[in-house]
Structure 1
Amino acid sequence: MSQAISREILAISLTSMQPPEEAASTNLTLKDSKTDEPINNELLLRPGEVGQMLLRLVNVANRPLQWQLRIVGDFPYDWCEWTQPNFEEIAPNQIVERVINFKVKVDFFENQLILNPENPLLQINYQSQIYIYIDEGREPQLIQYRIFHLLVRPNNTYLNFLPTLYREVDFIGRFVSILEQAFDPAVQTLDTLWAYLDPITAPKALLPFLAHWVGWEMDNRWDIERQRHLIRNAIILYRWHGTRYGLRLYLHLYTGLPLEQIQIREIFEQGFVLGSTYIGEDSMLGGGRPYHFIVELDLEPSNQIDEGLVRDMIERQKPAFCTYDLEINNL
């Protein structure tokens, strides 16, 4: 069994980096410490956030020491992010500072598994002890220990709107937290309302409403990402309906191909020209198909498209009296 050394050879101090407001006036001075620095022995923990305790060691002996810190308490051990498997050396008059991290799970207050069947009350205050051992070739000896408390409290921003007198009362903080948890989702929705009205960022369940809003017919043959882009550009597609630009944009949004790989050409693009001509390229003899155009898609080997759906899109976008040919080329 390890024994405690009564004489002071290693002075320690422990400082809470997140002292609770309701305990801000409760200070203490570490016993056997060279300084009279007042500190707080209560650490405030918010679910999902990291709380820190600052440990400061001073070797006041005239020889190097091998030290090790151990933490125990009635809190779940996975909260504490501290590992020191071996003893570390501290030289005479050397000052060593270490940060001890604690992190409570984000669903601490929602997870009912943390309730003890023998004690149905939710525990929010925990007691912890820090023990400092030294190794001088024999059995490790306990030379210092400190006691501090962990106070788990919900995240509460509404307290910032209350006078200091009310913020120091723990019951008021927990009561206001109920109101915050009830109304905060609605407030956050209003703050980000623009994201709900943008088809790119809107929830999937809201897309049919946005599509109806702009008069766009959703098609289950399109994946969700293509439908988002089509709904967002519906007004532009309406404006350019029946034109070459509108058809190219429509095909671009569906296929994801660059506009350079989508070509729409007519047999007579230059109209009636006097001068040199080339049969089969910019002129032809007899016949001809008026109001006819050709759609060319240049695909990479990895690209796959539904030809039937592409034809359906062209039929929707082109003028009713026009005819077309579809050519799909593999690069």
Structure 2
Amino acid sequence: MTQISPHPPLIVQITSMQPPQTGASTALALQASENEDNLPDNLLLYPGEPGEILVSLKNTKSLSQQWKLEIKGDFPVGWCSWNNSDFQEITPQQRLELPISLMVPEDFFENQWALDRSQQRLQIDYQIYISVFNQTRGEIQQVACQVFKLCVRPDTSYSDFLPSIYREIDFVGRLLSIFEQAFDPVVQTIDAMWAYLDPLTAPEALLPFLAHWVAWDIDNRWSLDIQRRLIRNAIALYRWHGTRHGLRLYLHLYTGLPLDEHLPEIDKHISIREVFNDGFVLGPTRIGEDSMLGGGRPYHFIIHLRVPESHHIDINLVREIIEQQKPAFSTYELSL
């Protein structure tokens, strides 16, 4: 048995926690909606942003009361955070504030169910019914009821450039959102143009163009990260081609091993040592320091790579890199 009490034991106040001026108004609309009702409140909801309704209860009696909050409407159940449908107790003179949060999915206008061809139009207006009941001696009384219109609208910043009188027109806001969604990707692309021209952040489809821009040949044996690093440093590799610094830089970009500029040559992860010792010498000398047996090898250098066990590199590709970067008349030894 449900009835509305003329003298409710609970004082109930149901308020939309949204400024009135942000509601979807149709007062100045060119054409009113067919189903437009004179509802007391509107709640404007943006996809991905929470909206809130506050229910305030106060027990004015000297005895504890049993209350229950009931929410109904034609909106999807998952939008509302309130799921308690049992009676609860409120002590004398106690005041409760119950926030009801509503969240529209961020992809409301883009997902497949919203674009179902079986629907003639996308529903963007819903209703929510909030009722408060009181139970006394087995009798259930409805002490308050409030109806809100839920207006789901795309968030647009273009309306900020309009006079305030046009911001209140719901049709104008929805029309501007079409232009914003069409032009906003272009504006964002222009603002982030630097990222499209940097090989480290550019889309993968743009890498061939950037490589052609600096006359760099892409080798499919390299991973995507290595290709990005090589294209970005192509000019530096050209400048130092045929030098010790250029070869170390190339090996660093391919293998990912540190350059260790602050360490002695023998302790570096990428070590390149040239042999300057004299050959067979008669007289005071120290073998291995200032002379060597068997004679010297001019234009010869030794490359030593300290590769961790978990680090995998292609030794054949390393040799190809060395052959491309070293002077044609020089020889080398490679050790891992």
**CA offset digits 1:214-261 (Å, max 9, x no partner):** 222111111111111111122222222222222112111111122231
What residue identity is the alignment partner of 1:74? D
| 1:298 shift after superposition | 1.1
Aligned twin of 1:218 = 218
Evaluate the alpha carbon distance shift between residue 25 and residue 213 of structure 1 in structure 2; reply closer, same or farther with a 3 A threshold. Answer: closer
1:247 paired with 2:255, answer no
Aligned twin of 1:17 = 17
2 CA distance for matches of 1:159 and 1:308?
61
| 1:289 shift after superposition | 1.4
Evaluate the alpha carbon distance shift between residue 279 and residue 93 of structure 1 in structure 2; reply closer, same or farther with a 3 A threshold. Answer: same
**3-state SS of paired residue (2:101):** strand
Aligned twin of 1:327 = 335
Q: Is the 8 A contact 1:12 1:57 kept in 2?
A: yes
Structure 1 portions without partners, runs of 5+: 27-39
1 CA distance for matches of 2:65 and 2:252?
72
Evaluate the alpha carbon distance shift between residue 164 and residue 291 of structure 1 in structure 2; reply closer, same or farther with a 3 A threshold. Answer: same
Q: Is the 8 A contact 2:277 2:291 kept in 1?
A: no
Aligned twin of 2:315 = 307
Q: Which moved more, 1:82-91 or 1:43-52?
A: 82-91
Q: Is the 8 A contact 1:58 1:93 kept in 2?
A: yes
2:296 aligned to which of 253, 264, 288:
288
| 1:270 shift after superposition | 10
Evaluate the alpha carbon distance shift between residue 116 and residue 58 of structure 1 in structure 2; reply closer, same or farther with a 3 A threshold. Answer: farther
Evaluate the alpha carbon distance shift between residue 211 and residue 117 of structure 1 in structure 2; reply closer, same or farther with a 3 A threshold. Answer: closer
Aligned twin of 2:148 = 148
Aligned twin of 2:180 = 180
Q: Is the 8 A contact 1:19 1:42 kept in 2?
A: no
1 CA distance for matches of 2:139 and 2:230?
74
Q: Is the 8 A contact 2:68 2:88 kept in 1?
A: yes
Q: Is the 8 A contact 1:21 1:167 kept in 2?
A: no
1 CA distance for matches of 2:118 and 2:293?
98
**CA offset digits 1:112-133 (Å, max 9, x no partner):** 5336878622221111111223
**CA offset digits 1:141-169 (Å, max 9, x no partner):** 43322111100111111001111111111
Q: Which moved more, 1:301-310 or 1:127-136?
A: 127-136
2 CA distance for matches of 1:269 and 1:285?
10
Residue correspondence of structure 1 range 31-50 to structure 2 within 5 A: 41-50=41-50
1:318 paired with 2:326, answer yes
Equivalent pairs counted in the alignment come to 313
2 CA distance for matches of 1:122 and 1:188?
28
Evaluate the alpha carbon distance shift between residue 301 and residue 172 of structure 1 in structure 2; reply closer, same or farther with a 3 A threshold. Answer: same
Q: Is the 8 A contact 1:19 1:44 kept in 2?
A: no
1 CA distance for matches of 2:186 and 2:115?
29
Q: Which moved more, 1:200-209 or 1:84-93?
A: 84-93
Structure 2 portions without partners, runs of 5+: 27-39, 260-267
Evaluate the alpha carbon distance shift between residue 290 and residue 143 of structure 1 in structure 2; reply closer, same or farther with a 3 A threshold. Answer: same
Q: 4+ residue stretches of structure 1 with deviation over 6 A?
A: 115-118
Q: Is the 8 A contact 2:25 2:168 kept in 1?
A: no
Evaluate the alpha carbon distance shift between residue 118 and residue 241 of structure 1 in structure 2; reply closer, same or farther with a 3 A threshold. Answer: closer
Aligned twin of 2:91 = 91
2 CA distance for matches of 1:196 and 1:169?
39
Using the size of structure 1 for normalisation, the TM-score is: 0.85
Evaluate the alpha carbon distance shift between residue 115 and residue 241 of structure 1 in structure 2; reply closer, same or farther with a 3 A threshold. Answer: closer
Paired-residue identity, % = 57
| 1:58 shift after superposition | 2.0
CA RMSD of aligned residues (A): 2.8
| 1:282 shift after superposition | 4.1
Evaluate the alpha carbon distance shift between residue 125 and residue 286 of structure 1 in structure 2; reply closer, same or farther with a 3 A threshold. Answer: same
What residue identity is the alignment partner of 2:304? E
| 1:139 shift after superposition | 6.1
What residue identity is the alignment partner of 1:126? Y
